[in-house]
C-alpha cells in the first residue's frame, strides 16, 4: 500500500497564492507560492508549492485520504497515485499541462518521487493484543539502543526525526475512533469488514524521504520515478528497513480483557499480577498458607492456576523474528479492493487511451500501451 507520497515536477507554469517573508537578518525577501487544498469531503489535504524561479511544482499528501476519505487501506499503484494527485492539483488551480506531457506522466515518467510512506498491516499473534505488540516492539527497541518514542498502547516511532527513513507502528482502530465524527464509512458489509481488519492488526509504516531514495542501492543512482516503485520494489524497501532494526527480546502474551473480566473483581488484581510474571509468594508476603488458599480458590472459580507459569511468551530472535515475519503481513481482502466506496483506484490503461483519443492518435505504435511496471527491473532478493 501507499500513504503519503511526495512529488516534484519541473518546468511547470502555475499561478498560486503567494506568500512572502524576509530572512531573519532582513537581508532579503523570499517568496513561495502555496496552493494547499482539501478534498471535497474535507478528509484529505494535498500540500502544494510552486517555485517560480525553477518552475518546480511540489505536491505532497495521501492520495488515499484525499479520494477515499480514509487511509485504512490504499492502492499500491505508484503511477496511478502520482497521476491522480497531479490531476487534482491541475484541476484545482487551473494549471495547463500539455497532453503529450500528460501521456508521459501516465507512464510514470518525468515525475520525481521525493517521499513515499509504505504501510502494511501486521497480524496480531494469538494471545497478544494490538497494544501489547506496540509496547513490546517499543521495549525491544529500547533494549537494542534504537532512537524510539512511544505513546503507550497506541503508537511507536523509530527514528522519528530522521531525514532519511523511519518506521512507525500504531493502532489504526484507535485513530479511527478518535476521528469518528469526521470519518464516514458506508453502512455495508465490506465497511464492517474494513473496521474488523483495523481492529485485528497493527499498522506498520515505513517512511522513506528523498535522502534515503537518492542513496538507496535498489535504484543505482537513478532518479526515482513512480514507474520504478512497483509493489515488489516497495516490499523490498520495507523489508530492508525493518531488517535494519536488530530487535531482540520477548513479547508477553496476556489474557484478553474479556477473559480477565470473567475473574471476580476481588481476585482480578491477583490474576493481573500473576499474568505480568510477578513473584506470587512475595505478593502474599511469603505466606505460603495464604498463597495456597488463594491459588485453590481462583483455580476453582476461573480455571486459572496462579501457581503455574503465566501466559506464554513469543520469542523475537535476532533481527525482527517471528512477529515481523513477512507471512504475518495481511493483504487487503479482495472484497475491499473491489469496493469503490472504500478503495480508490484508477485504470491507467483507460487513462492512456483517453489521452490518445484527445491527441487524435487512433492507431499505431504511439497508441500502444505498455505497462511500465512490467519493464521495471526486479530488485535484488526478488521479493514478491
pLDDT in tens, 103-138: 999 999 999 999 999 999 998 877 778 888 888 888
Q: What is the pLDDT of residue 316?
A: 44
290 and 236, same structural domain? no
217 and 134, same structural domain? yes
301 and 193, same structural domain? no
Domain span at residue 291?
Answer: 255-310
Cα–Cα distance list, 339 to 188, 329, 351 (Å) = 10, 21, 20
State pLDDT tens for residues 225-273: 999 999 999 999 999 998 887 665 565 566 667 667 878 888 888 988 8
Q: Which of 81, 88, 8 is nearest to 50 (CA)?
A: 8
Looking at 263, 279, 310, the residue that finishes a domain is 310
Q: What is the pLDDT of residue 328?
A: 86
End-to-end CA distance of the chain: 13
Matching residue, cell 505532497: 60
264 and 120, same structural domain? no
Distance CA 81, CA 345 (A): 8
Looking at 288, 310, 332, the residue that finishes a domain is 310
Q: Which of 221, 227, 230 is nearest to 110 (CA)?
A: 227
292 and 322, same structural domain? no
271 and 136, same structural domain? no
Q: What is the pLDDT of residue 232?
A: 92
The model carries a pTM of: 0.78
Q: What is the mean pLDDT of the chain?
A: 85
Distance CA 50, CA 313 (A): 53
Residue 384 lies in a domain: no
Distance CA 235, CA 117 (A): 12
104 and 58, same structural domain? yes
Distance CA 53, CA 63 (A): 27
Between 317 and 289, the more confident residue is: 289
Find all residues with CB under 8 Å of 374, minimum gap 6, and list them.
Answer: none
259 and 223, same structural domain? no
134 and 275, same structural domain? no
User: How many other β-carbons are positioned within 10 Å of the β-carbon of residue 227?
Assistant: 20
Coil, strand or helix: which one is 309? coil
361 and 274, same structural domain? no
8 Å CB contact between 344 and 68 = yes
Q: What is the pLDDT of residue 319?
A: 39
Amino acid at each position: 500500500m501507499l500513504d503519503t507520497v511526495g512529488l516534484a515536477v519541473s518546468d511547470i507554469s502555475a499561478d498560486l497564492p503567494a506568500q512572502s517573508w524576509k530572512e531573519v537578518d532582513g537581508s532579503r525577501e523570499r517568496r513561495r507560492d502555496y496552493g494547499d487544498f482539501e478534498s471535497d469531503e474535507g478528509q484529505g489535504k494535498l500540500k502544494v508549492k510552486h517555485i517560480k524561479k525553477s518552475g518546480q511544482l511540489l505536491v505532497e499528501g495521501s492520495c488515499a485520504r484525499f479520494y477515499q476519505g480514509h487511509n485504512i487501506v490504499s492502492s499500491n499503484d505508484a503511477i496511478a497515485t502520482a497521476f491522480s494527485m497531479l490531476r487534482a492539483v491541475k484541476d484545482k488551480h487551473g494549471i495547463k499541462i500539455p497532453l503529450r506531457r500528460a501521456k508521459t506522466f501516465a507512464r510514470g515518467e518525468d515525475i520525481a518521487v521525493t517521499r513515499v510512506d509504505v504501510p502494511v498491516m501486521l497480524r496480531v499473534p494469538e494471545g497478544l493484543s494490538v497494544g501489547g505488540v506496540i509496547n513490546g516492539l517499543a521495549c525491544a527497541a529500547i533494549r537494542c539502543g534504537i532512537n524510539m518514542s512511544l505513546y503507550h498502547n497506541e503508537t511507536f516511532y523509530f527514528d522519528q526525526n530522521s531525514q532519511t527513513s523511519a518506521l512507525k507502528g500504531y493502532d489504526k482502530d484507535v485513530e479511527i475512533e478518535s476521528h469518528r465524527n469526521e470519518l464516514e464509512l458506508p453502512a455495508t458489509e465490506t465497511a464492517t469488514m474494513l473496521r474488523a481488519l483495523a481492529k485485528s492488526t497493527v499498522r506498520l509504516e515505513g517512511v522513506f524521504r528523498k535522502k534515503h531514495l537518492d542513496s538507496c542501492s535498489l535504484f543505482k543512482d537513478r532518479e526515482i520515478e513512480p514507474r520504478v516503485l512497483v509493489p515488489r520494489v516497495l516490499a523490498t524497501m520495507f523489508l530492508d528497513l525493518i531488517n535494519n532494526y536488530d530487535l531482540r527480546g520477548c513479547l508477553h502474551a496476556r489474557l484478553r480483557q474479556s477473559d480477565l473480566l470473567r475473574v471476580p473483581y476481588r481476585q482480578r488484581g491477583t490474576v493481573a499480577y500473576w499474568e505480568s510474571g510477578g513473584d506470587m509468594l512475595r505478593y502474599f508476603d511469603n505466606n505460603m498458607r495464604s498463597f495456597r488458599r488463594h491459588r485453590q480458590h481462583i483455580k476453582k472459580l476461573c480455571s486459572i492456576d496462579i501457581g503455574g507459569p503465566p501466559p506464554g511468551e513469543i520469542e523475537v530472535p535476532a533481527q525482527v523474528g517471528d512477529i515481523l515475519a513477512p507471512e504475518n503481513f495481511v493483504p487487503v481482502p479482495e472484497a475491499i479492493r473491489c469496493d469503490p466506496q472504500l478503495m480508490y483506484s484508477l485504470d491507467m490503461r483507460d487513462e492512456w487511451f483517453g489521452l490518445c483519443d484527445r491527441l487524435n492518435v487512433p492507431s499505431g505504435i504511439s497508441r500502444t500501451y505498455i505497462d511500465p511496471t512490467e519493464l521495471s527491473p526486479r530488485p535484488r532478493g526478488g521479493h514478491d
